[in-house]
C-alpha cells in the first residue's frame, strides 16, 4: 500500500518542475564542490528583497540555520524564549548550544507576545517566533509584531521564522488581514533575522535549502559558523529555478487555501475542532489518545502526526493534501474515529 504523507507539511503537488529541470542540467557538475556562499542565489534574494547581499545567508534548510543561530548566540547560562507548542527544532537547537529554552504559555493557540516580552531577562539572546506557528497554524498580524519589536532590548535577536510565508500571505489576502512586513524590519536595521525556506511552497524539502535575511554583521557571523559546502550544487540550482516558478507557487498556495476549507469543513462535520490555519496543515484537538489514532490512520494508509513531542499529547497535525488525498484521509479518519474512545 502507498502511504499518503500528511505528517510533515511537505508539498503534495510535487517539486517545482523548473527546479527539477535545473537540477538535471547541473548533474554533470556534481564532481565539483558547491559555491560555499551560494553567491548567485544570495544576490537573487538580495535583489528580490531590496537588501544588500551581505544581509542574506543561504543554508541547507532552516533546521540547519536554526542550529547555527543557536550556536552563534547561546552559551550555558544564556537563554532563548519561544512559545509552548511551537516548532520542535527550537528546543533541540537551544539545548545543543548549551542554552536554556523558556517556553511561554500560549494565548488562544497562538504566540502571546506580551508574555514573551515580559519573560526577557539580561541572559536572553534569542526570541524564536514562528509565524505562522507549527503546529497550531496560528498567525501574529504585522501590527502586533511591530508593537512587540518596540519592547525588545538591544541584546536580543528576534528570529522571525516565516517557513510558511507564501501560504500565510495568500490567506491574508483572502481574509483582508495585514500579515507581515518582516523584511522592512531588516531594511530598517532592527535586530531581526527573517527565515524562509524552499521546503514548502517550492516543494524542495528533500533538497534542503533555506535562508536568513538580517543585519549584515550578524549574517556574517552565521556564515562563518555554518558547515562548509553544506548547500549542494543541486540545491543551489533548484532554488534559483524555483524562485522564478510563479505558476507552481500559485498553484500550490491556491489549492492549499481551497483544500484547507474543504478539510476543515469535513473534520468539523465529523464533530472535531480544527484551529484556523494560516499554513499548509491543520491542528486538531482530539481530547484523547492521539498516538493510537495516528497508528490506526497509518494502518489505513495515511500518515499524520500525533503531537506529544510538541507538548500537545491529545492533538494531531494533518498536512493539507491534494483533493484526492484529502478525500482518502477523511474516509479513513471517519472510520478510525468511529472506533476510537476520544472526542
Ligand atoms: C516553523 C518551521 N520552521 C522551519 C522549518 C524547517 O524548514 P526546513 O525544511 O528548511 O529545515 C519548519 C518545517 O517544518 C517549520 O515548520
Distance 283 CA to ligand 1 centre (A): 16
Question: By three-state DSSP, how is residue 225 classified?
Answer: helix
Query: Grid coordinates in use for 253?
Result: 498556495
Q: Is the CB of 255 under 6 A from ligand 1?
A: no
CATH code that applies to domain 17-244: 3.40.640.10
Q: In whole angstroms, what is the distance from residue 74 CA to residue 341 CA?
A: 44
Helices (H) and strands (E) in the chain, counts: 13, 13
Q: In whole angstroms, what is the distance from residue 343 CA to residue 325 CA?
A: 24
Q: Residue 197 CA: which ligand 1 atom is closest?
A: 10
Q: What is the pLDDT of residues 94-143, one digit of tens each?
A: 999 999 999 999 999 999 999 999 999 999 999 999 999 999 999 999 99
Q: Residue 279 CA: which ligand 1 atom is closest?
A: 16
Q: Residue 65 CA: which ligand 1 atom is closest?
A: 11
Model's pTM, two decimal places?
Answer: 0.97
Percent of the chain residues topping a pLDDT of 70? 99
Q: Is the CB of 205 under 6 A from ligand 1?
A: yes
CATH topology of domain 4-12+247-338: 3.90.1150
Q: 96: phi > 0 → left, psi -120 to 50 → alpha, else beta; which?
A: alpha
Q: In whole angstroms, what is the distance from residue 43 CA to residue 267 CA?
A: 44
**Residue recorded with cell 524542495:** 204
Tens of pLDDT along the chain (343 residues)? 689 999 999 999 999 999 999 999 999 999 999 999 999 999 999 999 999 999 999 999 999 999 999 999 999 999 999 999 999 999 999 999 999 999 999 999 999 999 999 999 999 999 999 999 999 999 999 999 999 999 999 999 999 999 999 999 999 999 999 999 999 999 999 999 999 999 999 999 999 999 999 999 999 999 999 999 999 999 999 999 999 999 999 999 999 999 999 999 999 999 999 999 999 999 999 998 999 999 999 999 999 999 999 999 999 999 999 999 999 999 999 999 987 655 4
Q: Residue 132 CA: which ligand 1 atom is closest?
A: 1
Identify which of 10, 134, 160 to mutate to test ligand 1's pocket (most ligand atoms within 8 A of the CB): 134
Q: Is the distance from CB of 214 to CB of 193 less than 8 angstroms?
A: yes
**Distance, first Cα to last Cα, the chain:** 29
Q: Is the CB of 131 under 6 A from ligand 1?
A: no
Q: In whole angstroms, what is the distance from residue 139 CA to residue 283 CA?
A: 13
**Nearest in space to 186 (alpha carbons), one of 51, 59, 73:** 51
Distance 134 CA to ligand 1 centre (A): 8
DSSP state of 60: S
Q: What is the pLDDT of residues 157-173, one digit of tens each?
A: 999 999 999 999 999 99
Q: Is the CB of 167 under 6 A from ligand 1?
A: no
**Nearest in space to 236 (alpha carbons), one of 214, 213, 203, 207:** 207
Q: Residue 133 CA: which ligand 1 atom is closest?
A: 1
For the chain, what are the domain ranges? 4-12+247-338, 17-244
Spatial neighbors of 89 by CB under 8 A, at least 6 apart, are 62, 63, 66, 67
Amino acid at each position: 500500500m502507498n502511504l499518503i504523507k500528511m505528517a510533515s507539511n511537505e508539498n503534495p503537488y510535487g517539486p517545482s518542475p523548473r527546479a527539477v529541470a535545473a537540477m538535471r542540467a547541473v548533474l554533470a557538475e556534481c564532481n565539483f564542490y558547491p559555491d560555499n556562499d551560494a553567491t548567485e542565489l544570495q544576490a537573487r534574494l538580495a535583489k528580490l528583497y531590496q537588501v544588500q547581499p551581505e544581509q542574506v545567508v543561504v543554508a541547507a534548510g532552516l533546521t540547519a540555520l536554526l542550529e547555527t543561530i543557536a550556536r552563534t548566540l547561546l552559551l550555558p547560562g544564556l537563554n532563548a524564549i519561544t512559545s509552548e507548542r511551537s516548532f520542535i527544532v527550537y528546543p533541540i537547537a537551544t539545548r545543543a548550544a548549551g542554552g536554556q529554552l523558556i517556553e511561554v504559555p500560549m494565548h488562544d493557540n497562538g504566540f502571546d507576545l506580551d508574555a514573551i516580552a515580559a519573560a526577557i531577562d539580561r541572559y536572553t539572546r534569542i526570541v524564536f517566533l514562528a509565524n505562522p506557528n507549527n503546529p497550531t497554524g496560528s498567525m501574529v498580524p504585522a501590527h502586533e509584531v511591530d508593537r512587540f519589536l518596540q519592547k525588545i532590548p538591544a541584546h536580543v535577536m528576534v528570529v522571525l521564522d516565516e517557513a510558511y510565508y507564501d501560504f500565510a500571505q495568500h490567506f491574508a489576502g483572502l481574509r483582508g488581514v495585514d500579515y507581515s512586513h518582516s523584511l522592512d524590519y531588516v531594511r530598517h536595521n532592527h535586530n531581526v533575522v527573517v527565515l524562509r525556506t524552499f521546503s514548502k511552497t517550492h516543494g524542495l524539502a528533500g533538497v534542503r535549502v533555506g535562508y536568513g535575511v538580517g543585519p549584515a554583521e550578524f549574517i556574517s557571523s552565521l556564515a562563518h559558523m555554518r558547515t562548509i559546502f553544506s548547500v549542494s550544487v543541486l540545491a543551489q540550482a533548484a532554488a534559483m529555478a524555483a524562485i522564478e516558478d510563479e505558476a507552481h507557487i500559485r498553484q500550490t498556495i491556491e489549492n492549499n487555501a481551497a483544500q484547507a476549507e474543504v478539510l476543515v469543513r469535513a473534520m468539523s462535520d465529523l464533530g472535531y475542532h480544527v484551529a484556523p490555519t494560516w499554513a499548509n496543515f491543520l491542528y486538531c484537538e482530539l481530547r484523547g489518545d492521539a498516538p493510537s489514532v495516528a497508528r490506526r490512520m497509518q494502518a489505513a494508509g495515511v500518515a499524520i502526526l500525533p503531537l506529544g513531542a510538541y507538548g500537545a499529547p491529545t492533538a494531531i497535525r494533518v498536512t493539507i493534501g491534494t483533493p484526492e488525498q484529502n478525500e482518502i484521509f477523511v474516509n479513513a479518519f471517519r472510520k478510525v474515529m468511529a472506533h476510537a474512545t476520544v472526542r
